[in-house]
Amino acid sequence: VTATDADEGQNGHVKYSFHKISDRASELFYLDSETGEITVKDNLDFEEISSHELEVQAHDGGELSDTTKVV
C-alpha cells in the first residue's frame, strides 16, 4: 500500500496500520508501518478461507488519515 503527503517534515511522514482486522487475519498478515508492505506470516488455506479483506489506514504526522481495503 502506498500513500503520499505533500506536507514537509513530520506532517509529511506517512505511517501505516491495520484499521479493522480480525484476530485470524492479524495472525496471517504483517503490515510494515513505515513502508506499507503487507506480507504473509503463515500459510494461507484457500479451502478454509477463500479470500481476505484487510483495511489499511495511512496517517501523517498531523491529524489526517485515510483508509483503503486490500483484498
Looking at the domain assignment, is residue 42 inside a domain?
yes
43 is in which domain, residue-wise? 9-70
Alpha-carbon torsion 52, 23, 21, 11, what sign? negative
Looking at the domain assignment, is residue 35 inside a domain?
yes
Residue type, position 34, single letter = E
Domain count, the chain: 1
C-alpha–C-alpha distance, residues 70 and 56, integer Å: 7
Looking at the domain assignment, is residue 17 inside a domain?
yes
C-alpha cell at 42: 503463515
pTM tops 0.95:
no
Give residue 13's pLDDT.
87
Band (pLDDT 50/70/90 cuts) for residue 62 is confident
C-alpha cell at 17: 496500520
Looking at the domain assignment, is residue 3 inside a domain?
no
Looking at the domain assignment, is residue 53 inside a domain?
yes
Give residue 15's pLDDT.
94
CATH number of the domain to which 59 belongs: 2.60.40.60
Looking at the domain assignment, is residue 2 inside a domain?
no
Band (pLDDT 50/70/90 cuts) for residue 67 is very high
Band (pLDDT 50/70/90 cuts) for residue 10 is confident
